[in-house]
Amino acid sequence: MAKLTIPAQELMYGGHAACPGCGPALAMRLLLKGLGPRTLVSIPACCWTVIATPYPTTALKVAVLDNAIESTGASISGLRAAADALGLDKVNIVGFAGDGGTADIGLQALSGMLERRTDAIYVMYDNEAYMNTGIQRSGATPWGAWTTTTPVAGDLRGKPEPKKDVMGIVLAHRPAYAATLNPAFPEDFNQKVEKARDIVGPRFFHIFTPCPPGWKFDSAQTIALGRLATDTGVFPLYEVVEGRLRITRKTGQLKPVAEYLSAQGRFRHLTPDDVTLIQAQVRSDWERLQKREREDLSLAH
């Protein structure tokens, strides 16, 4: 057998209730591989509430706390405070929230947790809409995407507003560590988890998690689509350590964003002009990211 490139330990059980090909399920599996069993996960209302299976069963081999949809940031502050008060050694405290629970209703508690420097990892697993309630737009839904609350009819062509820059908001709090992760790149994913695990302070992961029913693509394509997201520049992989940004997957030439968009039913209605607009935005975001990396690098010297 070839050497495993990510940890062998499995801290997620089979039998969970995720849809076939679920990005968030794979994200949790990879995350816990890197963090290990001494991990406490606080989960708000989101797909994972249900994925984790009903009482008296549980789908994780670590301790899980449910919390209200808007309070994940506060919940992990409470867990860390108790762990410190009780003298619990070497415990990873993790909040694992969806994009709605982070970018929208949970933003205040996330900001509070970052600002008070809670020693914990906040994960936003981003399937780019409220998927547990059946595909409603969130602040993290990208421009042009169809959802049940941004229908495609007449002049309406999906979500008319751009995706909220949650990373930008997080970075404004100067976290100890922040990174974008993509389960399609498990080695990069795992390196970031293991690196963040050993850093003290508020840490943030933005994890890209494709959703076959919500994005309308075949469940077998979850990884291929994730790879395309990064290789087209839609979801670049980078990390920010103590304010310095480093791109962790260099793509010499970005693939055309049309490849990524055309693979999903939620973008089926986009016109060539729409695609051109998106392409221009992705390119300019990518250039800005590279510029920031160069500047941070020069500051480091």
Report the nearest approach of another protein to the CB of residue 296 (Å): 29
Upstream peptide bond of 56 is cis (omega within 30 degrees of 0): yes
Which residues, numbered 171-190, are part of the site for another protein (CB under 8 A)? 183-184, 186
- Residue placing its CB nearer to another protein in the complex, 139 or 214: 214
* 84 lines the binding site for another protein (CB under 8 A): yes
Separation CA 147–CA 137 (nearest Å): 6
- Binding track over 20-39 against another protein, x by CB under 8 A: xxxx-xx--x-------xxx
d(CA 157, CA 169): 27
Least Å from the CB of residue 274 to another protein:
23
Footprint on residues 49-78 left by another protein (CB under 8 A): 49-50, 52-68, 70-71, 73-78
Size of the site for another protein (CB under 8 A): 81
CA distance 66 to 72: 9
- The window from 79-87, 148-156, 232-240, 254-262 that contacts another protein (CB under 8 A) reads 79-87
Give the torsion through C-alpha atoms of 12, 207, 43, 70, to 10 deg.
Answer: -170
Residue for token pair 């999906």: 158
Using CB under 8 A, which residues numbered 85 to 104 contact another protein? Answer: 85-86, 88, 91
Q: Are 238 and 182 in contact (CB under 8 A)?
A: no
Q: Which residues contact 72 (CB under 8 A, 6 or more apart)?
A: 42, 43, 44, 95, 96, 97, 101, 102, 106, 109, 110, 122
Binding residues among 269-288 for another protein as defined by CB under 8 A: none
Query: Does residue 12 belong to the site contacting another protein (CB under 8 A)?
Result: yes
**Could you say which DSSP state residue 19 is in?**
P
* Nearer of residues 112 and 285 to another protein, judged by Cβ: 112
Residue 107 engages another protein in binding (rule: CB under 8 A)? no
Shortest Å, Cβ 171 to another protein: 19
Q: How far is the CB of 184 from another protein (least distance, A)?
A: 8
- The DSSP H or E segment spanning 97 is strand 92-98
Nearest approach in angstroms of CB 149 to another protein is 18
93: which strand partners?
Answer: 40
Judged by CB under 8 A, does residue 18 bind another protein? yes
User: Binders of another protein among 198-227, rule CB under 8 A?
Assistant: 212-213, 218-224
- Please report how close the Cβ of residue 299 comes to another protein at its closest, in angstroms: 31
- Per the DSSP assignment, residues forming a β-bridge with 197 are none
Q: Which residues of 40-68 are buried (b: 16+ CB within 10 A; e: fewer)?
A: bbbbbbbbbbebbeeeeeebbebebeebe
- To another protein, the closest distance from the beta carbon of 57 in angstroms equals 5
| Cβ proximity to another protein, 167 vs 223, nearer residue | 223
The answer to the question of residue 126 lying near another protein (CB under 8 A) is no
Least distance to another protein, CB of residue 180, Å: 19
Q: At what angle do helices 186-197 and 23-35 cross, to 10 degrees?
A: 50
